[in-house]
Structure 1
């Protein structure tokens, strides 16, 4: 039995689907079972990562855990799950972290906040004595879905900050496939850097979408204040501030590096942004 935390998120949903295709038994942890639907065959357990007493039932009888935490509380949440997993003799924990922990933000204290949250989450796992594997992606292609509603509504000017800042986002399905492979193996203290096959900027993503959809889409640079207000609508304000600070002081050596992990672990190449966009074109129409 594999326990998936963050199962209602982009990566978590893809992982649940992948594990079911692989014939694995899946249990998901959710705070609100009635608000999220999961595929048939998935065992659903109610619990909260911030309340340790609710995690005992979630890890009972589990052999492996996929651990996905976010935000400033992730160290506490990850430690709660790890403690419960250790008590249940879980054999392997695969943790979703971020390549942000590898960025050099010397002299930029604010930019280190986001990396610090992820690093603290990793430490909660690596210090636990449990067998572990850590996955470090560099952002998700699915973040482009934030533009789906305005594009579908007819807007042709797409606004975002740092339009010329390249990175190597990964298709969440590829990340889920990597996680599924990792969960099928014993934990050996490995760190996998998971990226897409090429660096691409937000402006480049808009260009790809415009060509795919046959629309005259144009990218426009967003101010930091505008970006902060937009992000604060979908995440806590402190998380939004940390995300923007990390981007403003990006370590390009880390953000633009391409890693062959998807191909090495799954046996097929990582999907490009153009491929991801083609598979999700209906969301933009």
Structure 2
């Protein structure tokens, strides 16, 4: 069974692909720029763009399972033409679909719900642990983390996302269900800094940014303006769902979700060099 993963070079898509590839599954990865994709050996890489439904026909052909994401962070916009995308998936003979979102259900989720496909909804309202890599340069060079706001987040390891969604793509019993994925603990920026200090052996200081400084930082990183607005609102008015700890990862994988200290230990070299 060929499993098509869209958003292949993103944090979620990449984690799903790595998990499926380790299991020996037949994986096809869709991206706008196949030539620049760095994916595990044996993964079939194809071109596709949701803004051009015609480009999806070849990517979807022969696949039986499909992973979709409803928001393109690079473009700062939701998926274009979700109804057309779902119709193409049905026409191609795709039977099982998972989708990932970080907000309330939208047009893609409505289209999938009405499609008759075996669909599993994944809601991830928390930060990804890999986001902490944005601090690597300042920690290595200055022993400093610059962060905006005191928001708590039950942040999640990207590998736990990959394993959870891979299980729904490859096993029966998940159709019609919605899973909210979180990590095992709600952490403040200071909690994260403390964990990084312990795992790297470095003395690290937290500097809190003002809203204006945070906006400037995100713009310098090339973050689209709509996504900057989302980030500011999330940090200022953090929703309860962002710091709730829920059992979905353990239910889906049979294992406790990984802690931020585990993630920091795995990535410690990035914060030292």
TM-score normalised per structure 1: 0.88
Given the alignment of the two structures, is residue 191 of structure 1 paired with residue 181 of structure 2, yes or no?
A: no
The alignment status of 1:210 with 2:197, answered yes or no, reads yes
Q: Which whole-Å CA distance do the structure 2 matches of 1:51 and 1:281 have between them?
A: 40
User: 8 Å contact 1:140–1:169 — kept in the other structure?
Assistant: yes
Work out whether residues 50 and 79 of structure 2, in 8 Å CA contact, stay in contact via their aligned partners in 1. no
Which residues of 2 match residues 228-243 of structure 1 at below 5 A? 228-232=215-219, 233-243=221-231
SS in 2 for 1:34: helix
My pick for the range that moved more, 70-79 or 209-218, is 70-79
Residue of structure 1 aligned with 2:161, choices 159, 172, 175: 175
From 243, 247, 255, the equivalent of 2:235 is 247
Counterpart contact for 1:69–1:77, Cα < 8 Å: no
Q: Distance in 1 between the 2:146 and 2:30 partners?
A: 35
**After the TM superposition, which segments of 4 or more aligned residues of structure 1 sit over 4 Å from their partners?**
none
Partner of 2:67: 66
1:159 pairs, out of 146, 158, 162, with 146
Cα distance per residue 1:130-157 (max 9 Å; x no partner): 22101112221111010012222x2122
SS at match of 2:186: coil
In the alignment, structure 1 segments of 5+ residues that lack a partner are: 102-117
**SS of residue in 2 equivalent to 1:182:** helix
Equivalent residues in 2 for 1:101-120 (5 A)? 101=104, 119-120=106-107
Structure 2, unaligned stretches of length 5 or more?
none
CA distance in structure 2 between the partners assigned to 1:203 and 1:79 by the alignment:
43
Counterpart in 2 of 1:81? 85
Asked whether the 8 Å contact 2:27–2:44 carries over to 1, the reply is: yes
| SS at 1:65 equivalent | strand
Cα distance in 2 for partners of 1:192, 1:79 equals 22
TM-score by length of 2: 0.91
The 8 Å contact of residues 151 and 236 in structure 2, kept in 1 or not, is answered as: no
**Alignment root-mean-square deviation, CA:** 1.7
Deviation per CA, 1:205-224: give whole Å up to 9, x if none: 11110122122211111111
Q: What residue is the counterpart of 2:207 in the other structure?
A: 220
Post-superposition shift, 1:97?
Answer: 1.0
> 2: CA distance between counterparts of 1:77 and 1:196?
32
Corresponding position of 2:28: 27
Which has the higher mean CA deviation after the structures are superposed, 238-247 or 4-13? 238-247
Q: CA deviation at 1:173?
A: 0.2
Q: Is residue 2:253 matched to residue 1:266?
A: yes
Q: 1:151 to 1:194 in 2, by over 3 A?
A: same
Deviations 1:33-88 (A, max 9, x none): 11122222111111111110000011111111011242453242644432221221
**Deviation (angstroms), 1:123:** 2.4
Match of residue 275, structure 1, among 230, 253, 262: 262
Q: Is the 8 A contact 2:144 2:204 kept in 1?
A: yes
Q: 5 Å matches for 1:133-152?
A: 133-137=120-124, 138-152=126-140
Provide the C-alpha distance between the structure 2 equivalents of 1:78 and 1:148, rounded to a whole number of angstroms: 36
Q: Measure the CA separation in 1 of the matches of 2:269 and 2:99.
A: 31
* Shift in CA distance, 139/78, structure 1 to aligned 2, threshold 3 Å: farther
Give the counterpart of 1:90 among 87, 94, 115.
94
